[in-house]
């Protein structure tokens, strides 16, 4: 019998860092070490109570358990459109310009399959969400990394990008407010991105799940005139509505782009559970007071995380937004992995090393705010007591 080999694309990706590292953390916990996980951005706060009530009530109905439309139910599309109108001042046609997704991560794959042929170029941020690169590899696209640097406020250097041969580039991934650095979105940046996409006929994909977290002015790239011609924006209820396990997200763009993505999606998955979509539609109606209460919690946690970075002699930008705190490590550490492992093995606290987001993240670490105040305070105490830090 001949040896069975996987597809070549399997060799182009590795197991997700968190998948591997969290196995190690689980093994440590099984040994009774009680590791505090400040690595993953999985909100621990509940969604709106009204949304949960809608889920329970509709799930008890006999006629809500069948297959649902690939385009989602009208109530959910209309709720997404109303949400964009209220918070971003963006008009979206719920019938043609919105596509619900089973999470943004799924959307990255579907968009890539819809627009990228093998060998096509895709601009990927460094540092940035690792899935942009892994999915690009899976669809056999050519990754062209573009640098984001602290001295440029973690924004693209368009002069530098313009020097690259862009003739084969079809897609550009952007993510503002930025993960992992917390750099905020600005209308000026979005205008530059739209202009760049239109100039070079490049699809600009903005991944926008963090705009409601510790961010006073939510922005959408679709606010920019002409953006729908070349832009796709993804948004998610995972972060803004505390619904990560629900897997409810969306993308918005012009009707042609949406139809192309739907063509791919309809051949891969099915519609979501109707009670969950009805509940998500209810969650999208949350008033400003609900977001304010959520951000009061994150603001309190953020102060503890800032003290933690100060204890580790890391520097950070206090204007960051989002679910994380990004800090530059002391120069005596050769890499973020070295410091993160020292914190893990000496203090039993798991913090994300920035190298997993790209080479430009190697001198940084990231702390998740998705952890109770008591655990954050305990993590701070462990770091203070167990690490010999050099001033």
pLDDT tens digits along 121-149: 999 999 999 999 999 999 999 999 999 99
Q: Are residues 40 and 185 in the same domain?
A: no
Q: What is the pLDDT of residues 180-220, one digit of tens each?
A: 999 999 999 999 999 999 999 999 999 999 999 999 899 99
CB 180 within 8 A of CB 354: yes
pLDDT at 78 over 50: yes
Closest CA to 59 of 321, 246, 261, 335: 246
User: What percentage of the chain exceeds 70 in pLDDT?
Assistant: 98
Confidence of residue 390 (pLDDT cuts 50, 70, 90): very low
Q: Are residues 258 and 336 in the same domain?
A: no
Give how far Cα 18 sits from Cα of 192, 196, 302, 353, 371, Å.
Answer: 33, 33, 22, 11, 17
pLDDT at 107 over 50: yes
Q: What's the CATH number where 79 sits? A: 3.40.640.10
pLDDT at 11 over 90: no
Q: What is the pLDDT of residues 282-299, one digit of tens each?
A: 999 999 999 999 999 999
Bridge-based pairing of strands 349-353 and 324-328 is: unpaired
What is the pLDDT at residue 112?
97
Tell the residue number behind the tokens 């550490």, with chain if given: 333
In this prediction, residues 156-163 reach a mean pLDDT of: 95
Confidence of residue 389 (pLDDT cuts 50, 70, 90): low
The total domain count for the chain is 2
CB 218 within 8 A of CB 255: no
Confidence of residue 347 (pLDDT cuts 50, 70, 90): very high
Q: Are residues 117 and 207 in the same domain?
A: yes
Q: Are residues 30 and 88 in the same domain?
A: no
For the ranges 15-29, 35-49, 220-234, the maximum mean pLDDT occurs at 220-234
Residues paired with 99 in a beta bridge = 251
What is the pLDDT at residue 391?
41
* Tokens representing residue 153 in the block: 């406020």
Q: Are residues 320 and 377 in the same domain?
A: yes
State the Cα–Cα distance between residues 242 and 45, nearest whole angstrom.
Answer: 6
Burial class (CB in 10 A: 0-12, 13-18, 19+), 169: buried
| Residue 12: half-sphere exposure toward Cβ, Cα within 13 Å | 15
CB 109 within 8 A of CB 136: no
Q: What's the CATH number where 306 sits? A: 3.90.1150.10
- Domain extent, residue 26, equals 8-46+289-386
Q: What is the pLDDT of residues 253-278, one digit of tens each?
A: 999 999 999 999 999 988 899 999 99
Instruction: Give domain status of residue 135, yes or no.
Output: yes
3-state helix, strand, coil in the chain (%, to 5): 45, 15, 40
Q: Which of the 8 DSSP states describes residue 129?
A: -
Q: Is the peptide bond before 180 cis (omega within 30 degrees of 0)?
A: yes
What is the pLDDT at residue 1?
87
Confidence of residue 388 (pLDDT cuts 50, 70, 90): low
**Average model confidence (pLDDT) across the chain:** 93
């Amino acid at each position: 019998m001949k040896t069975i080999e996987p597809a070549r694309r399997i060799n182009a990706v590795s197991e997700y860092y968190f998948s591997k590292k969290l196995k190690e953390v689980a093994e440590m916990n099984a040994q009774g070490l009680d590791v505090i996980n400040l690595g993953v951005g999985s909100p621990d706060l509940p969604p709106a109570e009204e949304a949960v009530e809608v889920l329970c009530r509709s799930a008890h109905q006999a006629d809500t358990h069948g297959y649902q439309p690939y385009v989602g139910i009208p109530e959910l599309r209309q709720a997404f459109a109303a949400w964009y109108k209220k918070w971003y001042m963006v008009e979206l046609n719920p019938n043609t310009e919105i596509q619900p997704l089973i999470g943004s991560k799924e959307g990255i794959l579907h968009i890539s399959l819809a627009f990228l042929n093998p060998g096509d170029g895709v601009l990927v941020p460094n540092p940035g969400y690792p899935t942009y690169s892994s999915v690009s590899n899976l669809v056999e696209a050519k990754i062209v990394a573009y640098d984001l640097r602290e001295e440029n406020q973690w924004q693209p250097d368009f002069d530098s990008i313009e020097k690259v041969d862009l003739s084969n580039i079809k897609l550009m991934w952007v993510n503002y407010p930025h993960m992992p650095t917390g750099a905020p979105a600005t209308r000026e940046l979005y205008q530059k991105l739209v202009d760049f996409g239109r100039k070079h006929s490049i699809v600009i994909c903005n991944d926008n799940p963090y705009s409601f977290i510790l961010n006073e002015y939510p922005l959408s790239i679709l606010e920019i005139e002409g953006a729908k011609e070349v832009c796709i924006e993804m948004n998610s209820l995972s972060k803004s509505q505390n619904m990560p396990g629900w897997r409810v997200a969306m993308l918005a763009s012009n009707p042609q782009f949406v139809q192309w993505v739907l063509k791919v999606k309809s051949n891969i998955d099915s519609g979501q559970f109707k009670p969950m979509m009805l509940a998500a539609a209810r969650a999208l109606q949350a008033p400003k007071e609900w977001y304010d209460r959520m951000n009061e919690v994150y603001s309190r946690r953020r102060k503890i995380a800032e003290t933690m970075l100060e204890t580790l002699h890391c520097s950070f930008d206090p204007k960051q937004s989002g679910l994380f705190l990004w800090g530059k490590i002391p120069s005596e550490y050769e890499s973020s992995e070295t410091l993160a492992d020292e914190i893990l093995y000496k203090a039993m606290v798991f913090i994300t090393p920035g190298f997993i987001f790209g080479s430009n993240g190697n001198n940084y670490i990231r702390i998740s705010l998705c952890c109770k105040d008591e655990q954050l305070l305990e993590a701070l105490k462990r770091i203070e007591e167990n690490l010999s830090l050099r001033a």
